[in-house]
Structure 1
Amino acid sequence: MTVQTQQYPYPQVIRENGLIDTYKDFAPTHVIPEKTKANEIQLLLNKITSKPDFDPNMKFDASKHIIFKPEYFKSTKTFTLDELNINKTHVPKVTDFGAAFPFPLLSPEAVDMILYESFQPQIIDKYARLPNLATNATRLDFHIGGHAVSDGQFTNSIVNSKEIEDIVSTFFGCPMEHIYNSECAHINASLATTDEKEIEKYPKTEEEIKSLISKQDAGDGDKIPSSLGLHYDSTTVALVIMLDLPEEAVGGQTTIITGDEKTVRVPEPRVGYATMIQGRVLKHLASKPVTNHNRISFVNGYAASGAHTLDNTALTSTKPSVLPRARYDLFYKDWVEYKFKRLEDHLKYVRENVVKDYEEGKGFDQEAFVEKCINIEKYLTKCYDEMECVNNPPYPPPHFKMAYEDLS
Structure 2
Amino acid sequence: MLTSTLVKNIEAGNIHRKVTNEVYDGGIVESFKVSSLEGIIDTSNIAFEPEKHLTYYASPEGRGKFESTRRLTMKELGLEHPHQISDIGVTDPFPLFTDEAIRIMRQEILNKELFMKYARFNNSSTTGQDCILRGYAKNGDQIDAPFTYQAWTHPKSVELLNKMAGVDLVTAMDYEIAHVNIGVKDPKEANQEIIRQSRQKALKGDSNGDDIPAIVGWHRDAYPFVCVLMLSDTTNMIGGETSLRMGGKNAGKVSVVPGPKRGYATILQGGLIEHIAPSPVGVSERITMVTSYRAKDPLKKDISQLGTVKPEVNFGSRYNDFYPQWIDYRSDVMQKRLEHLKQNCKKNGRFDKEFCNQFLKDIEEYARSTRESMQVSEQEWRDAAKNTTPTAKL
Q: Distance in 1 between matches of 2:116 and 2:86?
A: 39
Give the equivalent residue in structure 2 for 1:211: 197
Give the equivalent residue in structure 1 for 2:86: 95
Q: Distance in 2 between matches of 1:274 and 1:233?
A: 17
Q: Distance in 1 between matches of 2:8 and 2:233?
A: 33
Give the equivalent residue in structure 2 for 1:56: 43
Give the equivalent residue in structure 2 for 1:5: none
Give the equivalent residue in structure 2 for 1:336: 327
Alignment of 1:75-90 (within 5 A): 75-87=68-80
Q: CA offsets per residue over residues 276-323 of structure 1, 9 Å max, x none?
A: 110010001122213343110010001111243353211111100111
Give the equivalent residue in structure 2 for 1:114: 105
Alignment of 1:380-391 (within 5 A): 380-388=367-375, 391=376
Q: CA offsets per residue over residues 206-247 of structure 1, 9 Å max, x none?
A: x78743532566445244222211110010101001001421
Give the equivalent residue in structure 1 for 2:268: 277
Of 235, 247, 267, the match for 2:223: 235
Displacement of 1:181: 1.6
Give the equivalent residue in structure 1 for 2:377: 392
Identical counterparts, % of pairs: 26
Q: Distance in 2 between matches of 1:225 and 1:314?
A: 26
Q: Distance in 1 between matches of 2:279 and 2:8?
A: 27
Give the equivalent residue in structure 2 for 1:400: none
Alignment of 1:1-400 (within 5 A): 14=2, 22-43=9-30, 46-47=33-34, 51=38, 54-57=41-44, 58-68=46-56, 71-72=64-65, 74-87=67-80, 92-138=83-129, 141-149=130-138, 150=142, 151-192=144-185, 198-202=186-190, 210-211=196-197, 213-214=199-200, 218-259=206-247, 260-309=251-300, 311-354=302-345, 357=346, 361-388=348-375, 391-395=376-380
SS of the residue 1:199 aligns to = coil
Is the alpha carbon distance of 1:231 and 1:14 closer, same or farther for their aligned partners in structure 2, counting shifts above 3 Å? Answer: farther
| 8 Å CA contact 2:13, 2:320 repeated in 1 | no
Displacement of 1:393: 4.2
Is the alpha carbon distance of 1:222 and 1:338 closer, same or farther for their aligned partners in structure 2, counting shifts above 3 Å? Answer: farther
| 8 Å CA contact 1:310, 1:343 repeated in 2 | no
| 8 Å CA contact 1:236, 1:279 repeated in 2 | yes
Displacement of 1:118: 1.1
Could you tell me which runs of 5 or more consecutive residues in structure 2 were left unpaired when the two chains were aligned.
57-61, 382-394
Q: Distance in 1 between matches of 2:217 and 2:278?
A: 8
Q: CA offsets per residue over residues 66-116 of structure 1, 9 Å max, x none?
A: 1126645541111111211225x5x72222211000000001111111111
Is the alpha carbon distance of 1:337 and 1:72 closer, same or farther for their aligned partners in structure 2, counting shifts above 3 Å? Answer: farther
Displacement of 1:367: 1.2
Q: Distance in 2 between matches of 1:234 and 1:44?
A: 30
Farther-moved stretch of structure 1 (263-272 vs 35-44): 35-44
Q: Distance in 1 between matches of 2:256 and 2:188?
A: 26
| 8 Å CA contact 2:97, 2:264 repeated in 1 | yes
Q: Which letter does structure 2 place at the counterpart of 1:380?
A: A
Q: Which letter does structure 1 place at the counterpart of 2:96?
A: L
Q: CA offsets per residue over residues 324-354 of structure 1, 9 Å max, x none?
A: 0000000011111111112112211221233
Q: Distance in 2 between matches of 1:256 and 1:21?
A: 37
SS of the residue 2:262 aligns to = coil
RMSD: 2.7
Displacement of 1:159: 2.4
| 8 Å CA contact 1:242, 1:296 repeated in 2 | yes
Q: Distance in 2 between matches of 1:246 and 1:20?
A: 39
Q: Distance in 1 between matches of 2:20 and 2:241?
A: 25
Q: Distance in 2 between matches of 1:387 and 1:322?
A: 10
SS of the residue 1:318 aligns to = coil
Per the normalisation by structure 2, the TM-score is: 0.84
Is the alpha carbon distance of 1:184 and 1:53 closer, same or farther for their aligned partners in structure 2, counting shifts above 3 Å? Answer: closer
Per the normalisation by structure 1, the TM-score is: 0.81
Q: State the number of aligned residues.
A: 364
SS of the residue 1:246 aligns to = coil
| 8 Å CA contact 1:148, 1:185 repeated in 2 | yes
Is the alpha carbon distance of 1:327 and 1:223 closer, same or farther for their aligned partners in structure 2, counting shifts above 3 Å? Answer: farther
